[in-house]
Amino acid sequence: MMTTNDHVDVLVIGGGPGGTPAAMALGRAGKHVMLVEAGRGLGGTCLFEGCIPSKIFRETAARRHEIVRAGEFGLRLGSSDLPGIDWAAVQSRRDRILSGRAQGALAHTEAMPSLDVVFGRARLTGARTALVETPDMQRTVTFDRAILATGSVPASLPIPGAELPGVIDSTQLIEIDAIPRSMVLIGAGPIGVEMAQIFAMLGTRVTILEVADRILGPVDAVLAGRLEKRLVQDGIEVHTKATVASITGDRGSHVTTFSVGGKEMTAETEVVAIVAGRRPNVAGLGLENTQVLSDKNGVIVDDTLQTGEPGIYATGDLLGNPMFAHWATAQALAVARHLLGAPVEFPRPEHNSAVIFSYPEIGMVGLTEEAARAGGLDVGVSEYDYKGDARAQISGDADGLLRIVYAPDSRRVLGVHVLVEGAADLMGEAALAVRVGSTVEDLASTIHPHPTLTEAFGLAALAVGGRRRE
């Protein structure tokens, strides 16, 4: 096997949203960068196993659901017009989009002469050295700085039977070769809820088992409560406070035994998917050869995302919660600016935004009411019910609620939480408002176009009343 020695300014390990943008920003600035990616292309979990394929499935499921509702919109379909599902075609559409995006990212990197992308696996062998292994080469790399962005992997659960063939995780669910007739999902975080609705809309009988007392723990409780009711109305069986005791059976036929409030129950399904969180991917990274420290939540970093080993930084899922692609990228870009000596504001959790691609979608930015109160903050909350909203009525999705969390004294908007189909594309304004410290008066006096879902921001802010801007 061939061996080489290289020296780079910055070694970036992991080509997902937490690694690639940093490598590109540094490469664009002329730094000599090596980006090492162990998977099948640039894009990480988000592209190959996460955000993008799951939303591609959702698109198919939601479009089918729209056709099911055609009659509401005055569209008459013949009795046999309900579309069948060509799952192989859905998977090939997914593959086309994924490979196009991975190739696009690679083409961007190829246009940067000082950025070298290596498809292989990297392991730190010291504070300034790493071994990079590709199928045909071993490269010893020395570096001035490194960014660790190896992401996360599905967490397993210590449940008897969790290791049985056919008990799958979210990565395998994304690759599933047929729509199952029935499925248990263990965990009702973003993955559990999104997958439950996607597969339910595609015709799977879905049961959710969640150990906590409600679905979507960190999400605004009022919105999560409304969504939980919606899941049940849409035919999904939801058990919260559920303790899973065991899984038995074989591929294609499983019995999950669980208890709720002391009452033992079983669910017989074709598939059982464990979607109960992800853990930072530190395995095989060689952290023991450095002063980089990690605990069960992930790699430990300071305010500049520097690890315990000076000069080695870490970003994204490797740092534990929150785990979002845009959060990982915001961190990656901040570290890149920091290494370039440019002024930088490191991303702050209270400015982060996120969307759960449930049906209806939940968009969120900043503090929830519960988090604010738990932190001893006195907050006001203004609500707007989409029931009376023109746009929501037109689109036939008026089951929704907007909640604005604000500081009663400064009137600053601290959080915006929205449940409505279309929420995903509303969150830019909300994120900006929280980030720049807008007041409820700023939102109230912004002219929002009619009829759109964004009018709700102005109307909810107006409802707060009180001071108006002079």
Ligand X SMILES: Cc1cc2nc3c(=O)[nH]c(=O)nc-3n(C[C@H](O)[C@H](O)[C@H](O)COP(=O)(O)OP(=O)(O)OC[C@H]3O[C@@H](n4cnc5c(N)ncnc54)[C@H](O)[C@@H]3O)c2cc1C
Ligand Y SMILES: NC(=O)c1ccc[n+]([C@@H]2O[C@H](COP(=O)([O-])OP(=O)(O)OC[C@H]3O[C@@H](n4cnc5c(N)ncnc54)[C@H](O)[C@@H]3O)[C@@H](O)[C@H]2O)c1
Tell me the three state secondary structure of residue 401: strand
Q: Which stretch binds ligand Y (CB under 6 A): 101-109, 226-234, 349-357, 367-375?
A: 349-357
Residue 298: which H helix or E strand, with range? strand 298-299
Residues numbered 205-224 forming contacts with ligand Y, rule: CB under 6 A = 209-212, 217
CA distances from 229 to 65, 122, 225, 235, 426 (A): 18, 46, 6, 10, 23
Applying CB under 6 A, the site for ligand Y has a residue count of 27
Closest by CA position to 359, among listed 178, 205, 233, 218: 233
Contacts for 119-122: CB closer than 8 Å, 24+ residues apart = 119/36, 119/37, 119/38, 120/36, 120/37, 120/38, 121/36, 121/38, 121/284, 122/11, 122/13, 122/36, 122/38, 122/285
The C-alpha torsion from 22 through 23 and 28 to 34, rounded to 10°, is 160
Nearer to ligand Y by Cβ, of 104 and 217: the residue is 217
Please report whether residue 192 would count as binding ligand X according to CB under 6 A: no
Write each residue from 104 to 123 as x if it is in contact with ligand X (CB under 6 A), else as -, in one continuous string.
-----------------xx-
Q: Which stretch binds ligand X (CB under 6 A): 11-19, 87-95, 245-253, 339-347?
A: 11-19
Nearest-angstrom CA–CA distance, 272 and 169: 9
Q: Which of 37, 49, 194, 399 touches ligand Y (CB under 6 A)?
A: 194
Nearer to ligand X by Cβ, of 216 and 443: the residue is 216
Do 397 and 359 touch, CB atoms closer than 8 A? no
Nearer to ligand X by Cβ, of 41 and 249: the residue is 41
CB of 426 vs ligand X, minimal distance in Å? 16
Please report whether residue 191 would count as binding ligand Y according to CB under 6 A: yes
Active site residue 450: yes
Q: How many residues does the chain have?
A: 470
Residue 281 binds which of ligand Y, ligand X, none (CB < 5-8 A, kind-dependent): ligand X
Nearest-angstrom CA–CA distance, 426 and 445: 17
Residue 454 binds which of ligand Y, ligand X, none (CB < 5-8 A, kind-dependent): none
Q: Which stretch binds ligand Y (CB under 6 A): 26-34, 276-284, 295-303, 336-344?
A: 276-284
Please report whether residue 15 would count as binding ligand X according to CB under 6 A: yes
Please report whether residue 273 would count as binding ligand Y according to CB under 6 A: no
Q: Which of 129, 170, 256, 353 touches ligand X (CB under 6 A)?
A: 170
Nearest-angstrom CA–CA distance, 203 and 179: 8
CB of 110 vs ligand Y, minimal distance in Å? 30
What residues contact residue 461 under an 8 Å CB cut-off, 6+ apart?
A: 382, 404, 413, 440, 441, 442, 443, 444
Residues numbered 262-281 forming contacts with ligand X, rule: CB under 6 A = 281
Q: Which stretch binds ligand X (CB under 6 A): 22-30, 248-256, 312-320, 438-446?
A: 312-320
Tell me the three state secondary structure of residue 123: strand
Write out the residues near ligand Y by the rule CB under 6 A: 157, 186-192, 194, 209-212, 217, 244, 275-278, 321-324, 354-357
